[in-house]
Amino acid sequence: MKKTLIQLADGRELMYFDERDDAVRSEIDRRELPPPPPPSELRYDPLVDEWVAIAAHRQTRTYLPPSDECPLDPSSPERSTEIPAYDYDVAVFENRFPSFSHRPPIAPPVAPTPMSPVRVGAGRCEVVCFTSDHNASFASLSPQRVRTVLAALADRTAELSAMPGIEQVFCFENRGEEIGVTLRHPHGQIYAYPFVPPHTSRMLAAARRHRERTGRLLFADVLEAERAAGVRVVAANEHWTAYVPAAARWPFEVHVAPHRHVLDLTDLTDEESAAFGPVYLDVLRRCDALFDGPLPYIAAWHQAPARHPDRELAYLHLQLTSVRRAAGKLKYLAGSESAMGVFINDVRPEEAARMLREAQA
């Protein structure tokens, strides 16, 4: 794989990850662009001990443009996009409308009350384009392209984790307008957070309690139990298992985990990276065969935080969740889920796993 770094017209970075070592990336960004926006503002919520990002500039981001105006397509002699090349394999660039930014603020943020401290929303947000084909999907990628995507995510995880102030690197894909996708081109995102997100904090706290009680690694024990039970396993090979968790919150939820304890994407061996694609692509194609069209989903890579004292208790895995509960029906986060954080699942996890196993991928 060959990595090439260029600058866009407004100073943002773009990286090409090419499967051919002789790829030449000499195209330049011909657009005239305003400077990138200042970073967001982080406000502390003392009632739940969490930070909230206020990023008002994101209101102006591109929203569901027609296919011939997609900013993630390759450029052409007639039209310049976010990606100057006329074709590409995988491209990663700084988000034009970031939730977090490493650029300096215009002025220091001011706390709205003494009980709500503020800080600059320092960090970084990047967009990951999986393919130049606007009409493709992750499920339609080749195993080789999945390896290239994984290599790009591992590269960005390493570089972003090394940035001062970055506590967690989160790689994810939102798919489908039901999820809130605003650009239809197959792509994912990377958030480099200046704090450890609540979900990671809760997982590490649970892992710490389990280690203190048993001396063992929590996620490894859960994975072993799911593999032994077998009833919720959807797909597997020598290095990975995909299963519906016993306490799935979503109608269709699949965890894809390596059999070896791995902290983040940079720790995967070549064999593990090569083995991921066949299992994950099988799961995605089964998901798309379930109902009346492509399944909307969020695919989230859970990685170890960069500097947390319990970092070694983390366990790399991908969590795929969908709001689709039946053909033509969505699962909405209503009162119990949104207000109290108590999920009520409409589909038994064992039934979801059976449906996925029987779906004709």
**Residue 346, both tokens:** 């409409």
Q: Given 57, 102, 185, 187, which residue is catalytic? A: 187
The DSSP call for residue 36 is P
CA 340 from centre of chain: 25
Amino acid at 171: C
**102 flagged as catalytic:** no
Rounded CA separation 128/126 (Å): 7
Instruction: Return the closest-CA partner of residue 316 out of 295, 338, 301.
Output: 301
Burial status of residue 110 (CB atoms within 10 A of its CB: 0-12, 13-18, 19 or more): exposed
**Residue 223, both tokens:** 């994975």
**Residue 167, both tokens:** 């506590």
Could you identify the residue written with the tokens 């799911």? 226
**Residue 295, both tokens:** 């399944």
Amino acid at 101: S
Across 226-255, b (16+ Cβ under 10 Å) vs e yields beeeeebbbbbeebbbbbbbeebbbbbbbb
Instruction: Dump the DSSP string for 247-315.
Output: T-SSSEEEEEEESS---SGGG--HHHHHHHHHHHHHHHHHHHTSSSSPPPEEEEEE---SS-TTGGG--
Rounded CA separation 102/94 (Å): 11
**Rg (alpha carbons) of the chain, rounded to whole number:** 21
- Could you list the active site residues? 187
